[in-house]
Amino acid sequence: MRLLKNLYLPSRFFLFLLGFAFAFTLAFFFKGLFLFVQIALVIFIAVCTWDLVYLFARKNGLRIERNYPEKLSNGDFNDFQIILESNYPSQVNAKVLEEIPDQFQKRDFKYFKTLKPNIQESVHYQLRPTKRGVYSFGNCIVFIKYLGFFERRFVLKEEKDVACYPSFIQLRKYLLLATTNRLNEIGVKRIRRVGATLEFERVKEYAKGDEYRFINWKATAKANKLMVNQYEDERAQPIYSFIDIGRSMRMPFNELTLLDYAINSTLVLSNVSILKQDKAGMLSFSKNIENHIVADKRNHQMNLISEALYKITTNFSESEFGKLYAYTKRNINQRSLIFLYTNFETLDALYRQLPYLKLMNKSHIIVVIIFQNTELKKLALQKAEKSIEIYNQVIAEKFLYEKQLIIQELQSHGLQTIFTPPENLTVNAINKYLEIKARGLI
């Protein structure tokens, strides 16, 4: 029964049977052909018997091993590897089938390999997840054939669940470029520091070259010698990412939602902030406030942020900026730089929330991130030939113009803005953060 369970008959076997049926039919009319067909049939049976015995004589004819990542990076191509090692004494051919998670809707996974005795061969492939969550891999199935008349099935019964997290591959890329001073290669600008935010460190005796404006006259009078205040660049400023998880963030671009772009950007921006000796924090909001991580720069802060970002899901609710303002006023007392990931599509939507943004901007520096609709931009630039196409272009241009009015309205009320295509969000957010640091606004 075990043999029958793992035995498969390929098309070659049935083609030969069909050929013999045709040959015997011809032999009915040509008597001299009958003997040759009988001899060929005996040889065919012998070859099939040898093929069958060769494939099933060894209990462990094939070793299968998976080399899969412990977690997936959302929106990136993740590498996967299947390792095959044949224990047969001569060369065999393998067909590899992998049970890919349903989320990928990939039904044509099939690889062919030639396996030599006791030599490892690898099957490499990539998958790009576009949703956070758990991806379930099923069994790995390999069909081995020797002469091609029969196939033996080997099954690696190793069902595996792999969690998909925000883009840590993107995070590593930015970290590597930052440590090698090559961030400019991906669009991060070198911004000259034009100001300084200083915090008091100590009082010391005046030395040649110290700033006269920092002389502490009270300490000088007490010590009867010239004393100056010593300052250092202010560090450990709170950098927050506020992520809107309302219905406006469900819009998809390149198979990722705006929420996923915001999450990936938050992960990288938080890491850059900690590298710059600032404190990173985040929260998500819609009708309620969720996933609040207090700004800090502890060793495990990035793990806390990553786990919180992994759990975030969007909904169809209208976001309550009033609740966000009240929560911020009550729980974030220190002046902070806040990156607000949201998406206003109309001026009416902006006007409903603008009073709360202005109130928050009095106590903090608010950077409102608005996404460009790149699909509308393409539509507006296309050549129109039909009336319906002209109508669609007019509507697209109207929405694009309204987006520009939204940006102007925010800037006229003193709010910092980032107006960016989704795919450039991370670079533009980092540039804005470095610009604000260089200008000494925090």
Q: From residue 288, how far is each of 285, 291, 317, 350 by CA, in Å?
A: 6, 10, 10, 19
Cβ-proximal residues to 40 (8 Å cutoff; 6+ apart), any chain: 20, 23
Residue 194 banded pLDDT, cuts 50, 70, 90: very low
The answer to whether 126 and 78 have CB atoms below 8 angstroms apart is: yes
Bin 418: left if φ > 0, else alpha if -120 < ψ < 50, else beta. beta
List pLDDT tens digits, range 298-324. Answer: 889 999 999 999 989 887 788 999 999
Confidence of residue 231 (pLDDT cuts 50, 70, 90): low
The Cα–Cα gap between 85 and 99 comes to 20
pLDDT recorded at residue 277? 85
269 class by beta-carbon count within 10 Å (0-12 exposed, 13-18 middle, 19+ buried): buried
Express each pLDDT in 16-53 by its tens digit: 999 999 999 988 888 788 899 999 999 999 999 999 99
Give 84-135 pLDDT, tens digit per residue: 999 999 999 999 999 999 989 888 889 999 999 999 999 999 999 999 999 9
Tokens coding 370: 């608005």
- With CA atoms as reference, report the closest residue to 259 among 317, 341, 372: 341
Domains of the chain (ranges, CATH numbers)? 1-165 (2.60.40.10), 168-192+235-438 (3.40.50.410), 199-233 (no CATH)
Instruction: Give the separation between CA 371 and CA 417, rounded to whole angstroms.
Output: 11
Lowest mean pLDDT among 294-298, 350-354, 392-396: 392-396
Instruction: State the pLDDT at residue 204.
Output: 86
